[in-house]
Amino acid sequence: MSPDEPREEPGGAGLPETQDPNPALPLSVEQLTAILQASPIPMFVIDKHHRVISWNLALEQLTGIAARQILGTTEHWKVFYTEKRPCLADIIVDGAYEKIKELYAEKSRKSETTAGVYEATDFFPRMGSAGKWVHSIAAPVIDNTGVLVGAVEKVEDITRIIGAQKDLRESEERYSALFSNNYSVSLLIDPDTGQIVEANDAAVRYYGYPHDRLLSLGIYDLNRLPREKVVQNLVRAKDENAKHFPSVHYRSDGEKRYVEIYSGPIRVQGKPLFYSIIHDITDSRLATRALKESEERYRTLIDQLPDYIIVHRNGILLFVNPAGAANLKYDAESLIGRSVFSLIAPESHRITQDAVVRRMKGEDVPPYEIRINANDGTYRTVLVHGGLVHFDGGPASINVLTDITPLKEAEAVIRHANEDLEKRVLERTDALRKANEQLTAEIAARALAEQETRRSLEEKVLLLREIHHRVKNNLQIITSLLKLQSRFIDDPHVLEAIKDTQSRVRAMSLVHERIYRSPDIAEISLKEYLTYLIKQVFQFYTIDQQKVGLSVTMPEIMVDIDTVTPLGLIINELVSNSLKYAFPEGRSGTVSLTCTPLEAGRLRFVYHDTGVGMPHGLDWRAAESLGLRLVNSLVDQLDGTVELVNGEGTTFLLEIQKSGTGRAMNEEISDNKGKKE
């Protein structure tokens, strides 16, 4: 049994709420029953077997359950719950106090003054039409011998209290949200001490203090007045209901700010406080000071302006600035009270009168020019800007007259100069028109000449293509004649010479064929030509390329006929020599040619075959072979060099100079056409 069990605490006999303080005069059962029935507090009593032995009238009214329905039963739980579970009184009878926390959690607590007494608050949806909040207090019932005989439970309807607390909480939450989210700087101040009780986010940002630091300050820390003075002012404000007053506050960085404070009493959680809204008026106060300074500067500016400043009402002068009066050779005071039209030339009266009428009606009047006469009899041209002002207690017209006499004089000079300039421009334009007509005629003639030149060039290009085509045909005829002639010759040396000649003629013929087919007759692709040439040599000597491979490696290089013709003959001789002698008895191998461009228009070729190589000790430059002698001669013709490189097979290193003859020929053709035209 729990240490809180009543039987271990003697002296608690009887009903705690109704027992007689005099133990010598115990109450009877009838008296106790009468007291319970008469109590305005709803309550019931159970015995140690959980049977209901008392169900008073107040509880009948609260629950709607008559005592006759529940007395003597153990079903009192049905009044409160939908499923069977113990009430507080049942738990106390059983001494199972640990179930209180289990069943009621944070809704229950132990009495701080009476042993064995527990309280719980819960919502019971079955009670009444909308449910009720009920506060229960259960206590043990002990007889005179200290034995537990039952328990009593008081049931109090606190629905209205809970509702009021909820409304209060919602009201405080709304107030807190309004206070915290207010963009105005707001403080809650204790009027008795001047201490800052609460500050919203706007106040934290404005004063520059962290929130907790701001709450540790008093209002006297912000206005830097003596604490006693501040408290006295707060008390007086509370008593006199003062709601608005100016002050000076200082931010955390020491910056001084002028403020207006709107303050009033408010009660928060029962404590009277001051709700103060602080409005910064520093800018407006400084602006007021600046306005006064501006007015002084304005007055000084008006007095010193070189323009003529006049103020008039109904055409009567009220003010003329000193500089304006001096420029008109008047004393400023002598002009006050005179008609403004006495200063204006007659021809300008009408425009001035119309402007005054429109301006006094509130219309916007654009600037206009008038002539005014000075005291010395001269006239000045001025540009008038005007507006309405409040002057000496009434509306008036203010005018700024800018003297534009020098400008008008300059305009006259410029106008005469423009007239002279326009005349000269017309003359020059006419001359340019005539020159343009002549130039147009020359351009037309030149365009016609260019067409003739282009036509002539196309004819010459076509003629050159035809020449190359005929040269190629003639060379092919020579090749055919040599082939026919070889049929009647038995000498193998002569046959070989004829065959070599055929190969050389074919190489030259191929040059003319490529030029004939090239888009630019002055140049052909060296890579395309040499690749095709070497393949033709392979076919001429009926070489199986499955045994002797061919490789040509070079970038795209364009060369003219003066370069490609001797170069083609050189490569023809080298390839022919390799195919005739480098691969005897069906020997396999490769023939390769690479080309690398060098500076200054030079080309480097490496010719190589993997055949048997040159005979040892052979002086190839002095050889009787026509082919090798032809190679040397053609290399000299190309301003080049050729070397035999030692190593496997045969390798020739050839370096030549590209000729510009082909391009020069095209340029010469163009020049000749230009001269002809």
Name the band, by pLDDT with cuts 50, 70 and 90, for residue 616: confident
For range 253-282, the mean pLDDT: 83
Q: Give the global pTM.
A: 0.33
- Identify the pLDDT of residue 630: 83
Asked if domains 6-157 and 524-660 share a fold, the reply is no
Q: Return the structure tokens found at 29.
A: 């059962």
For range 121-131, the mean pLDDT: 81
Q: What is the pLDDT of residues 485-543, one digit of tens each?
A: 667 677 777 767 777 776 767 766 666 666 656 666 678 888 988 888 888 888 888 88
For range 167-190, the mean pLDDT: 67
Q: How far apart are CA 487 and CA 489, in angstroms?
A: 6
Name the band, by pLDDT with cuts 50, 70 and 90, for residue 462: low
Q: Return the structure tokens found at 39.
A: 């109590």
Judged on CB neighbours under 10 Å (0-12, 13-18, 19+), 212 is exposed
Name the band, by pLDDT with cuts 50, 70 and 90, for residue 14: very low
For range 102-115, the mean pLDDT: 79
Q: What is the pLDDT of residues 326-366, one digit of tens each?
A: 888 888 888 899 998 988 899 999 998 888 888 888 888 89
Q: Is 259 helix (H, G, I), strand (E, B) or coil?
A: strand
Q: Return the structure tokens found at 65.
A: 């359950």
Give 67-126 as a DSSP string.
Answer: HHHHTT-S-GGGGT-SS----HHHHHHHT-THHHHHHHGGGEEE-SSSTT-EEEEEEETT
Judged on CB neighbours under 10 Å (0-12, 13-18, 19+), 563 is buried
Domain residue ranges of the chain, discontinuous segments joined by +: 6-157, 168-285, 309-396, 524-660
Phi (first) and psi of residue 43, to 5 degrees? -160, 160
CATH of domain 6-157: 3.30.450.20
The CATH number fitting domain 168-285, selected from 3.30.470.30, 3.20.20.140, 3.30.450.20, 3.60.20.10: 3.30.450.20
- Identify the pLDDT of residue 251: 92
Name the band, by pLDDT with cuts 50, 70 and 90, for residue 3: very low
Q: What is the pLDDT of residues 424-454, one digit of tens each?
A: 888 888 888 888 888 888 888 888 878 877 7
Which residues neighbour 497 within 8 Å (Cβ) at sequence distance 6 or greater? Answer: 626
Most confident of the ranges 9-18, 569-578, 595-604? 595-604
Question: Nearest-CA neighbor of 466 among 533, 511, 517, 526?
Answer: 517
User: How far separated are the first and last CA of the chain, in Å rounded?
Assistant: 137
Residue burial 484-494, b: 16+ Cβ < 10 Å; e: rest:
eebeeeeeeee
The CATH number fitting domain 309-396, selected from 3.40.190.10, 3.40.50.300, 3.30.160.20, 3.30.450.20: 3.30.450.20
Q: Is 29 helix (H, G, I), strand (E, B) or coil?
A: helix
**524-660 domain in CATH 3.20.20.210?**
no
Q: Is 299 helix (H, G, I), strand (E, B) or coil?
A: helix
